[in-house]
Amino acid sequence: MIANYEVGRIFIDYGSSADILFGEAYDQVQLGDVSLEKVNTSLYGFAGEVVHPRVMVSLPLTMGRGATRRTCLPKFLVVDLPSAYNVILGRPMLTTFQAVISTYHIKIMFPTPGE
């Protein structure tokens, strides 16, 4: 869940050095008062071209359910590109969540309060 909005089609890419929110998904989320930051950098190696992010935005990201739920506030780069996904979660988010990915089990595991 991102900013209290149920988001599907999330790709977890531990090869990505950024957390990406695609423009179409960003436009659908009702954000209200959020802090937008201008971005003066480009992304390289993204669909084989240089991509200039629209903005950077900090949005609450919640993973898990019930007692195993955890929320953090990652900074997403908003890019205007067509994609099969709404979000790419990369190494910054994985580090923040102290997450471990098991490709064999098709699971992402992370510590939650009380563990």
Which residues in the chain show pLDDT less than 70?
Answer: 30, 32-34, 45-47, 114-115
Average per-residue pLDDT for the chain:
87
Q: What is the Cα–Cα distance from 59 to 75, expressed in whole angstroms?
A: 7
The predicted pLDDT at position 114 comes to: 67
Query: What pLDDT was estimated at residue 78?
Result: 93
Domains of the chain by start residue, with CATH: 10-109 (2.40.70.10)
**What is the C-alpha separation between 56 and 89, in angstroms, rounded?**
14
Q: 30: Cβ–Cβ under 8 A, 6 or more apart, which residues?
A: 3, 5
